[in-house]
Amino acid sequence: MKVLVATDKPFAKVAVDGIRKEIEAAGYELVLLEKYGEKAKLLEAVKDANAIIIRSDIIDAEVLDAAKELKIVVRAGAGYDNVDLEAATAHNVCVMNTPGQNSNAVAELAFGLMVMAVRNMYNGTSGTELMGKKLGIHAYGNVGRNVARIAKGFGMEIYAFDAFCPKEVIEKDGVKAVGSAEELYSTCDVVSLHIPATAETKNSINYALVNKMPKGGLLVNTARKEVINEAELIQLMEERTDLKYMTDIMPAANETFAAKFAGRYFSTPKKMGAQTAEANINAGIAAAKQIVGFLKDGCEKFRVNK
């Protein structure tokens, strides 16, 4: 059995070593394709792979067509919007993710971005503190929960909205559950986004919603760029010079944001929320174990294309 690790954004070496150990202990072969850049290289590498471990790498119908021996794809991470689930099902390929394995890393970066924003991008002028500010967590999944845990240490007042998570689950963490996204944005000084990119959420963070934020509002995005309605956010930030936007996922309109909103906009150059040795080890080794469990015992826990 051939297990391909296809990561355009590579894992830390220590994580690759751990993945290799799991795969070889099961008697399988590990093939590594890192920083491949062009899709053609991925199409060539998947030809004889029985299993693939990916990150944000795109697995579409063309890749699945080329991967004639493929049985399983594991997205080492949470969001699987980069995999065409319907095409995978049609090709009889199981798709899994590794929920929770990299969530602390993403949550920590959200605070890195928050501190940078409230300290005026470290330009030496007096900023503000996070203590006592109202934090809104938009979606209370694994990352959202870690954000809540860390926010307690900062002394923030914590609110959350999640259409799919029961109020009691949120409130048992000492977080105030609000009834709508509109309420969250109108209540909170800082909103941290943790929604996945789905047909329902794409472009949903728009002018009307963000405009509900109080004066000096800060929006932090460590989720997906697709959830932002970029044209509307640009229009709003032109009108409201008090708003700040910090993101780990570079917008398509990055140059416009950077040119128009210097001092109140920042994007990391490459999505790096999950780019820690710990998160790479956790997610990478979980992916390797899930592949072995699937190929040896037919275990389908964490399957996302039912």
User: Which parts of this chain interact with ligand 3PG (CB under 6 A)?
Assistant: 9, 55-56, 77-79, 102, 271, 273-275
> Euclidean distance between the first and final Cα of the chain, in Å?
24
Cβ atoms of residues 87 and 60 within 8 Å:
yes
Residue closer to ligand 3PG, measured from CB, 104 or 187: 104
Residue closer to ligand 3PG, measured from CB, 217 or 284: 284
Residue closer to ligand 3PG, measured from CB, 11 or 257: 11
Residue partners of 98: CB distance under 8 A and separation at least 6: 74, 75, 76, 77, 78, 282, 283, 286, 287, 290, 302
The CA distance from 193 to 191, in Å, is 6
Q: Please state the closest distance from residue 251 (CB atom) to ligand 3PG, in A.
A: 15
SS3 298: coil
Helical (H) or strand (E) element with 246: strand 244-247
Residue closer to ligand 3PG, measured from CB, 79 or 136: 79
205-211 long-range contacts, CB within 8 A, separation 24+: 205/229, 205/233, 206/232, 206/233, 207/232, 207/233, 207/235, 207/236, 209/181, 209/182, 209/185, 210/185, 210/236, 210/243, 211/236, 211/240
In three state form, how does the secondary structure of 69-82 look? CCCEEEECCCCCCC
Residue closer to ligand 3PG, measured from CB, 106 or 178: 106
Residue closer to ligand 3PG, measured from CB, 267 or 275: 275
Closest residue by beta carbon to ligand 3PG: 77
Q: Please state the closest distance from residue 266 (CB atom) to ligand 3PG, in A.
A: 18
Residue pointed to by tokens 């399983």: 72
Q: Please state the closest distance from residue 106 (CB atom) to ligand 3PG, in A.
A: 6
Q: Please state the closest distance from residue 275 (CB atom) to ligand 3PG, in A.
A: 6
CB atoms within 10 A of CB 103: 24
Tokens coding 109: 């970066």
Q: Please state the closest distance from residue 157 (CB atom) to ligand 3PG, in A.
A: 27
Residue closer to ligand 3PG, measured from CB, 195 or 218: 195
SS3 110: helix
Residue closer to ligand 3PG, measured from CB, 136 or 284: 284
Q: Please state the closest distance from residue 158 (CB atom) to ligand 3PG, in A.
A: 22
Q: Please state the closest distance from residue 195 (CB atom) to ligand 3PG, in A.
A: 12
Tokens coding 29: 């072969």
Q: Please state the closest distance from residue 114 (CB atom) to ligand 3PG, in A.
A: 18
